Amino acid sequence: MQDQPPYLLICAESGRGGGIRTQMLHLARAFERAEQPLTIVATENDVFSEALAGSNVQVAHIPLKQIGSGRSLYAEWSAALKPYHGHRAVVTRSPAGHSSLAVLLAMQRRFERVYILERNLADADPQRPGQLQPPRKRTLSRRIRDWLSARAVHRSVCVSEAVRQSLIRRYGMPADKTMTCPNFVDTNRFQPDADRRSAVRAEHGFDEQDRVIGYIGRLHKNKRVDWLLRAHAQLDEALADNTRLVIVGTGPEEQALLQLADELSITPRTTFVGHSDDAVGWHNAFDVEVLPSLFEGMPNTVIEAMACGGLCVVSDVAGSNECIDHDRNGLLIDLQSPDDLTEGLMRALTMSPAERESLTGQARQDALDTFAMEVGLPRVLEAIDAHAVAQALTTDPPNANG
């Protein structure tokens, strides 16, 4: 097998988000199977060493600042990356396009090529949830900065077309330097499992007559879990009697959501699980899975639910609507208020078995055709020019144990 330059994966985020860590680990294990050299550098939290213990993938925890004066940032990053001079670097970035020019220039100095994995919209407004930031004034200094930033990057690999377009729109990234590679999941692990469904439901006191609505994700304002609680509270009385809501995840809104459930008098039929490592079990346990986000890059939780044959009800926003095709493999809802979500839940909970089977069967098939690891992992490897690793997958494909 033809060798390629050594690669460095730089996780410049906390890495605690399940999607970031999972995708990085899939890439790392692909390099290991191909017997190609790889080092992971975690600049914030090391969430990789334990998972990769015993492998030939090297993990380095190098705390590096991302905010500061340009000169000091350049010096710090350039010195830290010197041992990896000549490598090819793959760097996570969120939001898309948002990074220090000094850091990019330091990478450009040290690495043969720099690839960026763009994970979220470039122009989502953090101060106005659900809104895009106004267009940037294209001053001469900004045009120069954007040109230098684009020049430092060999290719930006975006998790959705929406993210790719936002990167071009906000930062003027040349379209020929961008590529869309959707997130992917292990469809051997995430698959319909009647035994796991029964076990998880029994463990939490749900029987087969209960309708279980579920959410898996971070408890953040942008996810609009408060709207899900309000929609749950507004279900018709005939449905509410045996409908349960399960919230899996943690985040800054957790206490506020617990209080809201109490205020809405739905605490007896709402379960807050907190963090769980059993995503497969929960995806299977749910009768309806909801993601009412204001915006997404490419939601892993929806792809996982699709792979498990779940019935998804998601907001019709960028990223999510590249997974769910309304009335074909799930339901897309134009969410303007909790009432809209209530209507979506009512339809999902009362649809005929034939309609449900059609949607969930197509969801599983789309996961296999478009979002399976066997499809998505080689696509990302080709995008970062790791051709030797991609070629190795044809003879040693990824599997549930990989």
Query: Is residue 154 pLDDT above 60, yes or no?
Result: yes
In this predicted structure, the answer to whether residue 366 has a pLDDT above a threshold of 60 is yes
Q: Give backbone dihedrals phi and psi of 359, rounded to 5 degrees, phi first.
A: -70, -45
Q: Residues 307-354: pLDDT tens digits?
A: 999 999 999 998 999 999 999 999 999 999 999 999 999 999 999 999
User: 53-63 pLDDT, tens per residue?
Assistant: 999 999 999 99
Which of these CATH numbers, 1.20.1560.10, 3.40.50.2000, 3.40.50.2300, 3.40.640.10, describes 7-184+372-395? Answer: 3.40.50.2000
Helices (H), ranges, 153-286: 161-171, 194-203, 225-233, 237-240, 254-263, 279-285
pLDDT band (50, 70, 90) for residue 400: very low
Hey, what are 96's tokens? 């898309």
Statement: residue 125 has pLDDT above 90:
no
Provide mean pLDDT across the span 113-137: 84
Interval 67-107: pLDDT, tens: 778 899 999 999 999 999 999 999 999 888 888 999 999 99
Q: What is the DSSP letter of 223?
A: G
Per-residue pLDDT tens digits for 260-297: 999 999 999 999 999 999 999 999 999 999 999 998 99
| 3 vs 391: CA distance, rounded Å | 11
CATH number for the domain running over 194-370: 3.40.50.2000
pLDDT at 388: 93
DSSP assignment of 118-182: E-S-SSB-TTSTT-BPPPPP--HHHHHHHHHHHHH-SEEEESSHHHHHHHHHHH---GGGEEE--
From the list 280, 389, 333, the residue with the least C-alpha distance to 18 is 280
- CA 282 to each of CA 7, 10, 193: distance values in angstroms, whole numbers, following the listed order: 36, 31, 10
pLDDT of residue 401: 42
Other CB atoms within 10 Å distance of the CB of residue 178 = 23
Q: CB atoms < 10 A from the CB of 380, how many? A: 25
Dmax over CA atoms of the chain, in Å, equals 66
* DSSP SS3 for 209: coil
| Length, in residues, of the chain | 402
With vertex at residue 121, the alpha carbon angle to CA 332 and CA 118, rounded to the nearest 5 degrees, is 115
Which pLDDT belongs to residue 78? 97
3-class secondary structure, 314: strand
List CB contacts of 145: < 8 A, sequence separation 6 or more.
101
pLDDT for the residue numbered 1:
47
Strands (E), 269-321: 270-274, 288-291, 312-315
Q: Torsions phi, psi of 342, nearest 5?
A: -60, -45
The CATH 3.40.50.2000 domain(s) of the chain lie at 7-184+372-395, 194-370
Q: Tell me whether residue 77 is exposed, middle or buried, using C-beta atoms within 10 angstroms of its C-beta: 0 to 12, 13 to 18, 19 or more.
A: buried
Cα–Cα distance, 223 to 315 (Å, whole number): 10
188's enclosing H/E stretch is none
The whole-number pLDDT of residue 335 equals: 92
